[in-house]
Structure 1
C-alpha cells in the first residue's frame, strides 16, 4: 500500500462542513499532523481537487475528538482550520459551527453513550479552553438528525442542538479587551479589539465606505477593502499581544451597521481573507458582546437591552443568528454565558487516504 487509511466521519456542523476524526487515529506531533490534514483536505488548489475539502474556508475545517482529560468534560474537541490554497494549518482558533457536530460525532464514535430522550454532553474546546454544554436529541436512546429546527445558511430542517458556551472570555489572549481599551484608532479607523470565544477586531462598516449590507460576494469583489482591512487587522493583532498574525486566521475581523431587517444589529464577519457566507458561532458571541458593551464602536448603532439574559439577533448575509447572552451590566459588561441553537448532520463515513510518504500510520 502506498497510502495510509484514516477512519473519519464527514459531517455538516452548523454552516460549516468537514471531517471529524478520533484523535487517536492521527499522528500526535503537530508537524506531521498538519501535513496529514493538508493532504486529506487537498489544500493548495482552489477546488481542493486532491482532497475532500470543498474549496471554501467553511468546508476546510477539521474536528479531532477524544475522551476528555478534563474532570468537567466528557469530550475534548481539538480544531484545525486548513486553508484552501495556501497550505496552512492554524491550530489557534476554535470553530463553533463545527462544534455543533461534536456531540453527534462523539456518539457516533462511541465516545459518549446516549442517556434518554436528550443527551447532555460536556465539551472542552482544547484550542481555547472554553467549556460548552451541548444538548443532543436522542429519542429512545438513539441519535437522531431529524427535526424541525432551521438555521440561516442551511437548507431544510434538522434536529435542534442547543449549545451553551461558558468560560469564553479571553479565550485566546486572556483578556476581554486585549488592548486594555474599549476603542483604538488604527490607520484612521476606530476599532474595538475584543476576545470572547474568538479574538476579533471590530469596526463600523461606514468607516470603510461600506453600507454594511453588502452581500458576501460583493465584499469579496472589493480588494481595496480587504487590503485596508488586513492592514488594520495585522496592526491590531500586535496591539492585542498576538504577535505577527499575517499567517494566522486570528484575530478575525467584523463590521457593524444598524439593523435593517428587524434584528438587533447588522453584521459581516471575515475569515479573515474572505467573507463568511453567514456567521461563525464563535464570532457571533464576540460580536454580540461588543454590541452589548457601552463605549465600543457599536455605540449608537443599536438600542441596547438592559435586561439579562438578552436575545441578540445578528443580521448576516444569509439571514440572522440569535445569541442568548447572560451578562452582568453592573460595571460595564461581563459575560456569564452565551447560548445558541444549531443543527448538524452526518453526511458520510469511512476512510480518507493520505500518501504513505507523509505518514505511515505507525
Structure 2
C-alpha cells in the first residue's frame, strides 16, 4: 500500500528533481525528510526504488509555498537528498533548481501569470535571501519552448532570468567569512567568499593540476580530493562554520586561466565529487570573486574591456554566463554588487503523484 503525494518532476537548469507544494508534505522537518528519502529511494546507490537519479545532481527536491510577507510572491525550500545515506540537507541552496520554482508556482495557481512575462519575487528559505525570477508567459501561460541554450543540457528552451538580490553573506553573514580575501592553508593560498553560498577557491596550479581536467579525471584523483577536503575543513573552521565533515558547505573549486575565450576556468566540487557542469550558486560566488581585486580568482580572471560586467565561466560541459555589476557607490574595501543575474531554462518532466510506501508514510505521520 502507498501514500500518494502530488509532485512535479522538473529539470531546473542542469539539475532535476521533484517539486512539491508545502501543504502536501509534513511540516515537521524530520517527518518531511523521511518522506523525501522514501520518495527518492534513498539510501541506495541507484535509488532504484524511488524517483531519484542516483546522482547528487538528480537527487534534489524543492518545496514551494505562498508567502505572507509583503513584497514576496512565494517561498521555496531546497533539499539535497543523499543518494546512499539517510540524510536530507537543507543548509545549501541550488540556483539551478530555483529556475523551475517560478514556472511551478504559476502552473499550480500560486501566482497569477501576466503577459508577456511574469516577474516573481521568491524568498529562498535556505538563505533568507530574495531572488527575482522572470518567466516567459505569453498570453498568460507558461511556455517552455524557446531558443535559449545552456551548456550541460541538450536542446533549447524558454529563457528564465534569475536576479539575485543582496546575495552577499547568504549563509555566514559576511562576503568574506574568514575576514580575509586571501587565506593561507599550509603553502596554499585560497579565497573563501559567501555570495549566494559559501565557496572556497584554490588555484589548480598550486596543487599541481591544470584546472582543465575532465570530471572523470578529477573524480579518480583521490590525492587531490583529500587535499581539497583538508583545505575545506580548515577554512570552514576559520569562517566560523565549525566541523563540516558531514556538511556539503562550504563547497570548494579549482580555478585557472581560461582556454576558450571565457573569463576564467573552474572545476566545482559538490564537495566530494566534481560537478559535471557548474552550480549556479557556485558560479555567482566565482563571478563575485573574479570581480573583486586581491582575491585568488581575480589573479586568473580575464575580464573583457568591452563588457566587464560579463563573467563567462568555463566548466567541464562548456560555459556559464553571469552578469555582475559593482555598485558605483561601493568601494574597493567594501564591494557591493548592484547586479547578479543569469539565464537558465527549465521544464516539467512529469506531473502526477509519487507513491511512498505506506509503512514509511505512517512513520512520518
TM-score of the aligned structures, taking structure 1 as reference length: 0.96
Matched with 1:310 is 309
Equivalent-residue separation in structure 2 for 1:174 and 1:72 (angstroms): 22
Supply the distance in 1 between the matched residues of 2:301 and 2:289 (Cα, whole angstroms): 11
User: CA shift at 1:87, angstroms?
Assistant: 2.3
Q: Is the 8 A contact 1:197 1:282 kept in 2?
A: yes
Distance 1:222 1:211, change over 3 A: same
What's the RMSD between the two structures over aligned residues? 1.5
Aligned to 2:185: 186
Which residue pairs with 1:64 in the alignment? 63
How far 1:49 sits from its partner (Å)? 0.8
Task: Report if the CA contact (8 A) 1:292-1:305 is conserved.
Answer: no
> Shift of the alpha carbon at 1:272?
0.6
CA–CA separation in structure 2 for the residues paired with 1:314 and 1:157: 20
Q: Which 10-residue stretch deviates more, 108-117 or 326-335?
A: 326-335
CA distance in 1, matches of 2:307, 2:268: 25
1:343 deviation in Å? 0.2
1:40 aligned counterpart, secondary structure: helix
| Counterpart Cα distance in 2 of 1:160 and 1:300 | 32
Structure 2 counterpart SS, 1:358: helix
Q: CA deviation at 1:290?
A: 0.9
Partners of 2:75 and 2:292 lie apart in 1 by: 31
Unaligned runs of 5+ in 2: none
Taking the aligned partners of 2:193 and 2:131, their CA distance within structure 1 comes to 20
Q: Which residue of 1 aligns with 2:150?
A: 151
Q: Deviations over 1:119-167 (max 9, x none)?
A: 1111111100121111111111111111100000000001110111112
Aligned to 1:343: 345
Would the alpha carbon gap of residues 42 and 313 (structure 1) be closer, same or farther in structure 2, given more than 3 Å must change?
Answer: same
Match of 1:120 in 2: 119
Q: Is the 8 Å Cα contact of residues 293 and 332 (structure 2) preserved in structure 1? A: no
- Mapped partners of 1:70, 1:248: distance in 2: 30
2:242 aligns to what?
243
Farther off after superposition, 197-206 or 349-358:
349-358
The answer to whether 1:52 aligns with 2:54 is: no
Structure 2 distance, partners of 1:279, 1:132, is 19
Deviations 1:328-356 (A, max 9, x none): 36324322231101000110011112222
TM-score by length of 2: 0.95
CA distance in 2, matches of 1:119, 1:168: 22
Match of 2:91 in 1: 92
How far is the alpha carbon of 1:45 from its aligned partner?
A: 1.5
Shift of 1:89: 1.0
